[in-house]
Amino acid sequence: QGARHDLVDAVFALEGQDDLVLIVRRVDALGKFLETDDGSNLLIGYRRAANILRDEEKKDRTTYSGAPNHELMRDPIEQHLWRTIQSTAADANHHVAREDFESAMETLSTLRNAVDDFFASVTVNVEDKQLRENRLKLLNEIREATRTVADFSRIEG
């Protein structure tokens, strides 16, 4: 009751959301998280990644899914982002499995600095096609990591 419709939509967009009590708890946790600096900044980083990915997928008429190739990660910052995504997603999934949505969101907020550093230092759309594809797959991993708690693409504002 009184929850933002976009947050409800973001939670309903996930597969298997049929327990009303858990949906309400997840929506509440998401709303509180997005009111924090970490939450709003993560949403900004997510949107930047998702927008680049959406534009490039549309232009290339393909999707960039699947794990990126660690051996193609030349820049230490992209290596750090990949490690951060892996550990953060695993931790967030663990919290979600325990129905601890607040901790899952707090865990996701640790992505913020790695995402910011990546965008400050790494060019995604480079001439090297393999490297470009790998970096786009890395952006997809940001999108997938946030889906442990909600479909951030449905969040307005």
Confidence of residue 91 (pLDDT cuts 50, 70, 90): very high
| Radius of gyration, CA atoms only, the chain | 16
- Read off the pLDDT of each residue in 92-107 and give the average, rounded to a whole number: 94
Q: What is the reported pTM? A: 0.89
Q: Please tell me the total count of domains within the chain.
A: 1
Evaluate if residue 2 carries a pLDDT over 90: no
Residue ranges making up the domain that contains 113: 5-154
Q: What is the mean pLDDT of the chain?
A: 93
Evaluate if residue 47 carries a pLDDT over 90: yes
39-69 exposure pattern, b = at least 16 Cβ within 10 A, e = fewer? bebbbebbebbbebbeebeeeeeeebeeebe
Q: What is the CATH number of the domain that holds 147?
A: 1.10.730
Nearest CA to 139 among 85, 96, 97? 85
CA-based end-to-end distance of the chain: 20
